[in-house]
Amino acid sequence: MARPILLLLILLALPALRPACAEVPEHGAPTHGIAMNAGVTHGIAMHGDLALPPDFTAFPYVDPAARKGGTIRQAVTGSFDSLHPHIVKGVPALGLGHVFETLLTRSWDEPFSLYGLLADRVEVAGDRSAVTFRINANARWHDGTPVTAADVLFSLEMQRRHGTPNRRLFYAKVAAAEAPDPQTVRFAFASNADGTIDREMPLLMGLMPIHSKAFWEGRDFNRTTLEPIMGSGPYRIATVDPGRRIVYERVRDYWGRDLPTRLGQFNADRLEFDYYRDDSVALEAFKAGQGDVRYESDPAKWATGYDGPARRDGRIVREELPNRRPEPARGLIFNTRRPIFADLRVRRALGMATDFDWIGRSLFHGLLTRTASYYPNSDLAARGLPEGEELRALEPFRDRLPPELFIRPFTLPDGGTGSGPAGLRANRREALRLLEQAGWRVRDGRLTDAAGNRFAFEILLSDPSEERVALEFTRSLEPLGIDARVRTVDSAQFQGRLDRLEFDMTMRWWASSLSPGNEQLYYYGSEAAGQEGSRNLAGIRDPVVDALARSIAVATTRAELIGRVRALDRVLLWGHYMVPLFHSPVDRIARRSTLHRPVNTPLYGPMLESWWVAP
């Protein structure tokens, strides 16, 4: 599936392009940096110190002199039925993150650090039990009215009542919210059950999407809508063809264009997203000149699909750009709410039956790496045996974890290449042994339980390009007597079934930043397992997972954080909640030669909002 560069994950919406401009702001003088109270730095870092000084003028991965103007077009797959990205209902259009803003914004060259955006001052309590934001006096909605503390408090109320489950989970920790004056808002946080304070909460409040209270008067915040919603960001919606096309135009008098956190970004005058039902058609549209940039997630298309006149004469440029972020942990995810997948032995057995080495060579041209972590491609991934901070995090739960976890590194089954067909046959014999232990037997070529019920399930997909792997997986289960079927539905139906948790198995992913925190409970926590729209697709309900995921947000040092994330990673791996697939160690990007990028690539990989169009 085509997607905007850097599927981040993480954090609360799909990313897309963003442009800026350099004219003098209409409302007052530009504000550079964040002025802080004595003893408080000019931003918030989750751990350690901020990388940028108080007088920084721009992020190091942008070109402050980037050319303004032109159009950036993307040919994407799927559909959309809503322009409201901050509720559970509907499938929002790509690019809406450019319409809405937050109090603070991330530096993508640091694991988790925030600098000023709508807020130009921030004060954090020493124990992180409270945070105070001073709203920039220049901050304006697109109708020219000021952004106020009342808008921030309204946004918190709406997110707590109607936001996605992860936001409702986070913002429930706000014990008190007040506005001492129209430009100041203060949040105090409740203690955890053990008396600790969630150290991530000041940053999460800084990343809360802010909505206009006045705009929503007389409107229902909890309904999908195709009416453009007023924001304060660098773009507004220009035209919409529901499900097919959306166009954004740069806000000419954008209030924040000269902020150091905005300079050199949001450079195109227009952003256009054209939707296609099939990614192969989207690729052909790009090659034919109907798109300017494409993130290629399919190695087969990267290897063979871009040949043509435009590439040969230099109009299309292809690049493989390395990054140091965790890649999405993609896999065939078991819905453990289904009785047939409730037994760990069954889940482990199904992961042993497929020759993934052959799949990697044949379907992906050897360009992908088999995923063996929930945080692949990063130093957060568990490796070897637990030691140091990781072992300290695991030790209290030793009696509730499999003994092998402490004495044997987690490894994926040999898919067959390393030990030949005999190795794959041995894996399948072991899989049958595990299935028999779980109460399943092969009778007349069919795997059944004691009551004669056949082991059968459905794999739910939304992208036809995913069918190749899913079908190979189902074929590999036939020798075990398992009846697995693949069903591909449109994106709206797919998302609806995921939201309602109505599936047996699906091909999906979990994505994390270099500084995981509260979202880990949303991904893997017991409370999230029963929530509609939850990202705990696997239905994980494990007190050990809950405790480890909760401990990550209260880590006080980077070393402590890494150890706790590795501990969680190891426990999830030994839980066999998915059959891991593959990830790419680089970003593969094709672009028109007229689309240019800065010299520096940030820690998280290329950021399209810093690119520009030049003839």
Confirm whether 560 is domain-assigned: yes
Residue 345: partners with Cβ closer than 8 Å, 6 or more residues away: 434, 435, 437, 438
Confirm whether 491 is domain-assigned: yes
Residue ranges of E strands in 109-253: 113-116, 119-124, 130-135, 174-181, 184-189, 209-210, 235-241, 245-250
* Interatomic CA distance for residues 356 and 369, integer angstroms: 10
Q: Which residue has the higher pLDDT, 41 or 534?
A: 534
Per-residue pLDDT, 143? 98
* Interatomic CA distance for residues 330 and 461, integer angstroms: 13
Could you report the per-residue pLDDT of 425-481, keeping only the tens digit for each? Answer: 899 999 999 999 999 999 999 999 999 999 999 999 998 889 999 999 999 999 999
pLDDT at 36 over 80: no
Lowest pLDDT segment from 228-242, 405-419, 521-535: 405-419
* Interatomic CA distance for residues 495 and 501, integer angstroms: 10
pLDDT at 595 over 60: yes
Phi, psi (degrees; rounded to nearest 5) at 290: -95, 15
Determine the structural domain holding residue 355 and report its residue range: 329-583
Confirm whether 448 is domain-assigned: yes
In this structure, what token pair is assigned to residue 112? Answer: 């988790």
Per-residue pLDDT, 125? 93
pLDDT at 117 over 90: yes
Could you report the per-residue pLDDT of 268-286, keeping only the tens digit for each? Answer: 999 999 999 989 999 999 9
Handedness of CA 203, 209, 210, 214 (dihedral sign): negative
Handedness of CA 71, 144, 132, 174 (dihedral sign): negative
Question: For residue 79, what are the CA distances in angstroms to 232, 292, 511?
Answer: 25, 20, 21
Confirm whether 44 is domain-assigned: no
pLDDT at 554 over 80: yes
Q: What's the rounded mean pLDDT across residues 19-33? A: 29
- Identity of residue 359: I
Q: Which residue has the higher pLDDT, 382 or 17?
A: 382
Residue ranges of E strands in 336-453: 369-370, 441-443, 446-448
Residue 40 binned pLDDT confidence (cut-offs 50, 70, 90): very low
Half-sphere exposure of residue 446: CA atoms within 13 angstroms, side-chain side? 11
Confirm whether 409 is domain-assigned: yes
CA dihedral 193, 194, 200, 201 (to 10 degrees): 40
Confirm whether 506 is domain-assigned: yes
Confirm whether 531 is domain-assigned: yes
Per-residue pLDDT, 415? 52
Residue 424 binned pLDDT confidence (cut-offs 50, 70, 90): confident
Could you report the per-residue pLDDT of 209-260, keeping only the tens digit for each? Answer: 999 999 999 999 999 999 999 999 999 999 999 999 999 999 999 999 999 9
Phi, psi (degrees; rounded to nearest 5) at 458: -120, 140
Per-residue pLDDT, 39? 34
Give helix then strand counts, H and E, for the chain: 18, 27
Average pLDDT over all residues of the chain: 90
Could you report the per-residue pLDDT of 559-587, keeping only the tens digit for each? Answer: 999 999 999 999 999 999 999 999 999 99
In this structure, what token pair is assigned to residue 123? Answer: 């004060």
Given a contact cutoff of 8 angstroms between Cβ atoms, the answer to whether 605 and 584 are in contact is no
Q: What is the pTM of this model?
A: 0.76
Per-residue pLDDT, 414? 66
Specify the number of domains making up the chain. 1
Q: Which residue has the higher pLDDT, 306 or 43?
A: 306
* Interatomic CA distance for residues 276 and 2, integer angstroms: 10
Residue 324 binned pLDDT confidence (cut-offs 50, 70, 90): confident
Q: What's the CATH number where 383 sits?
A: 3.10.105.10
Residue 420 binned pLDDT confidence (cut-offs 50, 70, 90): low
Per-residue pLDDT, 177? 98
Could you report the per-residue pLDDT of 339-380, keeping only the tens digit for each? Answer: 999 999 999 999 999 999 999 999 999 999 999 999 999 999
Per-residue pLDDT, 195? 84
What is the Cα gyration radius of the chain?
A: 25
Confirm whether 574 is domain-assigned: yes
pLDDT at 37 over 50: no
pLDDT at 418 over 90: no
Could you report the per-residue pLDDT of 82-99, keeping only the tens digit for each? Answer: 999 999 999 999 999 999
